[in-house]
């Protein structure tokens, strides 16, 4: 976003979304405008590279780089902090999500987090903040905010059961983080069969987050522990 010409217009985001949908919708066995298996979607963004004059239906090299940063893993501060990117699909599910791509500056959680949490300055430009200069502050915030400890042995010993679910078109908090956490929990628990005794993870294609969660969570919770579930696909 800080590079001239690298920001993606809403029309270009729509171009990406259309191409991703065309290639990956059917990978789940049903063409229904829902990408049910984003893990199988290996869309090649380079296919959208402009070969002639720039238009809304293609991406310049700078815009391609911008788009890749949304999907591919990223690390900063010499690899100290990593971010896994977003799955393909859902690029246009909400106008607010498109702002994250098409605006001239970071929106949603990103910009204000960097200003107020990291730099602790209302006048800081979030695009100019170098995470490498704030490692002690970021380490503190990681301990304060992130829930990344996969050792749930005490929770399990107390009879706890954990239900995880994530909408696979959540463009605010990447579903990859939940997937990675679940994989770590499985390993920490001693393997899949051991983990299955107290933790379930459902990936919900075509879903975003928040507002519709409360009702569906209750239905999902009931169905997981008492019978068949039809509101999500179980991972593993």
Contact stretch for Ca ion (CB under 5 A) within 33-41, 46-54, 62-70, 114-122:
33-41
Q: Is residue 25 at the binding interface for Ca ion, with CB under 5 A as the rule? A: yes
Tell me how far, at minimum, the Cβ of 26 lies from Ca ion, in Å.
6
Q: Is residue 39 at the binding interface for Ca ion, with CB under 5 A as the rule? A: no
Question: Quick one: 22 or 236, whose CB is closer to Ca ion?
Answer: 22
Q: How many whole angstroms separate alpha carbon 113 and alpha carbon 115? A: 5
Contact stretch for Ca ion (CB under 5 A) within 25-33, 70-78, 96-104, 172-180:
25-33
Question: Quick one: 37 or 115, whose CB is closer to Ca ion?
Answer: 37
SS3 of residue 203 by DSSP: strand
Question: Quick one: 32 or 112, whose CB is closer to Ca ion?
Answer: 32
Give the count of residues interacting with Ca ion (CB under 5 A): 6
Contact criterion met (CB below 8 Å) for 160 and 199: no
Question: Quick one: 66 or 203, whose CB is closer to Ca ion?
Answer: 203
Sign for the CA dihedral angle at 177, 183, 189, 194 comes to positive
SS3 of residue 91 by DSSP: coil
Q: Is residue 30 at the binding interface for Ca ion, with CB under 5 A as the rule? A: yes
Question: In 108-212, which ranges are continuous DSSP H helix?
Answer: 108-112, 135-145, 153-157, 175-189, 192-195
Contacts of 57 (CB under 8 A, 6+ apart): 15, 48
Q: Is residue 28 at the binding interface for Ca ion, with CB under 5 A as the rule? A: yes
Q: Note the residues at the interface with Ca ion (CB under 5 A).
A: 25, 28, 30, 32, 34, 36
């Amino acid at each position: 976003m800080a590079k001239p010409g690298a920001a993606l217009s809403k029309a270009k985001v729509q171009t990406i979304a259309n191409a991703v949908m065309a290639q990956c919708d059917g990978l789940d066995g049903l063409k229904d405008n829902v990408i049910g298996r984003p893990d199988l979607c290996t869309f090649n963004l380079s296919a959208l590279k402009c070969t002639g004059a720039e238009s809304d239906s293609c991406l310049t090299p700078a815009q391609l780089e911008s788009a890749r940063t949304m999907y591919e893993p990223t690390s900063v501060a010499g690899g100290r902090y990593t971010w896994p990117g977003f799955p393909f699909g859902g690029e246009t599910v909400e106008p607010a999500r498109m702002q994250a791509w098409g605006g001239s500056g970071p929106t949603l959680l990103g910009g204000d987090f960097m200003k107020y949490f990291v730099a602790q300055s209302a006048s800081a430009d979030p695009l100019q903040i170098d995470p490498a200069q704030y490692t002690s502050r970021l380490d503190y915030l990681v301990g304060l905010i992130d829930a990344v400890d996969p050792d749930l042995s005490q929770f399990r010993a107390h009879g706890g059961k954990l239900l995880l679910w994530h909408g696979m078109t959540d463009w605010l908090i990447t579903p990859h983080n939940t997937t990675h956490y679940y994989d770590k929990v499985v390993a920490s628990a001693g393997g899949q069969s051991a983990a299955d005794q107290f933790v379930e993870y459902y990936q919900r294609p075509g879903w975003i987050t928040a507002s519709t969660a409360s009702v569906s969570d209750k239905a999902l919770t009931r169905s997981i522990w008492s019978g068949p579930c039809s509101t999500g696909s179980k991972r593993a």
